[in-house]
């Protein structure tokens, strides 16, 4: 009597074949997850723990800003390759803010100019990260102007930074509440005075 290929015989049971194939592929799926999604998740958890450490360092009365900058470099290296560009932009923005606090203004401005271009391409002109980058860039230009004046630079040297400061502030005024802009300017001035005091300790 011939075997029924749908039930037994040489053809075997389709369900049994499917289960056997599933069992054979299971280790492959586990390995794929481990080296892809699993590894990415582990990297994110490690990066999250480092971010908590950095936030604690920043909240101390006298932060060690060079050490904070180094931690941000390590954080960037720990992010998985698949991480969203906006997340990387936020980390780079935080690092630029730390560089401004340690008065490495020139380097911070260079980073922020490039970062602003990249953020506009990803999030648009009015994206929240883009707005934060632009505000920080305005702060950087303000710091550069004030530092150059304080160190006896000629008007030719500090004037370009002052003009860029006004351009950024004007842009912010056109896209935000003018009263909020006034608060922002006062805050930048207060933060500059505080940064000067901290770097003189």
In-domain check, residue 64: yes
Q: What mean pLDDT value characterizes the chain?
A: 82
pLDDT in tens, 135-158: 999 999 999 999 999 999 999 999
Query: Within this chain, do residues 76 and 136 fall inside the same structural domain, yes or no?
Result: no
User: Given 50, 83, 116, which residue is the final one in a domain?
Assistant: 83
Query: Within this chain, do residues 143 and 187 fall inside the same structural domain, yes or no?
Result: yes
In-domain check, residue 96: no
pLDDT in tens, 23-32: 555 554 444 4
- The model carries a pTM of 0.74
- Structural domain including 29 reads 17-83
In-domain check, residue 97: no
Give the other-Cβ count within 10 Å of 54's Cβ.
22
Query: Within this chain, do residues 193 and 111 fall inside the same structural domain, yes or no?
Result: yes
Query: Within this chain, do residues 38 and 109 fall inside the same structural domain, yes or no?
Result: no
pLDDT in tens, 93-115: 999 999 999 999 999 999 999 99
Q: Number of folded domains in the chain?
A: 2
In-domain check, residue 89: no
What per-residue string of b and e applies to 76-87 under the rule 16 or more CB within 10 Å gives b?
Answer: eebbbeebeeee
Q: Quick check: 165 and 148 in contact, CB under 8 A?
A: no
pLDDT in tens, 118-127: 999 999 998 9
Q: What is the pLDDT of residue 111?
A: 96
In-domain check, residue 88: no
Query: Within this chain, do residues 199 and 119 fall inside the same structural domain, yes or no?
Result: yes
User: Given 26, 49, 83, which residue is the final one in a domain?
Assistant: 83
Quickly list H helices, the chain. Answer: 14-35, 37-58, 65-78, 85-101, 105-123, 128-150, 155-175, 178-200
Q: Which two tokens stand for residue 43?
A: 């990297």
User: Given 51, 83, 115, which residue is the final one in a domain?
Assistant: 83
| Better-predicted residue by pLDDT, 187 or 58 | 58
Q: What is the pLDDT of residue 179?
A: 66
């Amino acid at each position: 009597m011939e075997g029924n290929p749908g039930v037994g015989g040489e053809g075997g049971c389709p369900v049994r074949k499917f289960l056997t194939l599933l069992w054979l592929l299971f280790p492959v799926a586990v390995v794929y997850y481990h080296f892809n999604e699993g590894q990415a998740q582990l990297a994110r958890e490690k990066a999250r723990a480092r971010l908590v450490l950095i936030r604690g360092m920043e909240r101390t009365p006298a932060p060690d800003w060079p050490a904070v900058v180094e931690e941000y470099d390590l954080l960037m290296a720990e992010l998985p390759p698949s991480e969203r560009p906006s997340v990387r932009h936020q980390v780079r923005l935080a690092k630029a803010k730390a560089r401004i606090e340690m008065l490495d203004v020139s380097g911070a401005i260079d980073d922020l100019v490039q970062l602003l271009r990249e953020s506009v391409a990803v999030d648009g002109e009015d994206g929240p990260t883009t707005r934060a980058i632009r505000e920080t860039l305005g702060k950087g230009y303000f710091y550069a102007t004030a530092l150059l004046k304080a160190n006896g630079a000629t008007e030719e040297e500090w004037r370009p930074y002052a003009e860029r400061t006004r351009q950024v502030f004007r842009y912010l005024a056109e896209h935000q509440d003018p009263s909020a802009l006034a608060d922002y300017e006062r805050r930048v001035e207060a933060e500059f005075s505080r940064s000067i005091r901290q770097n003189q300790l």
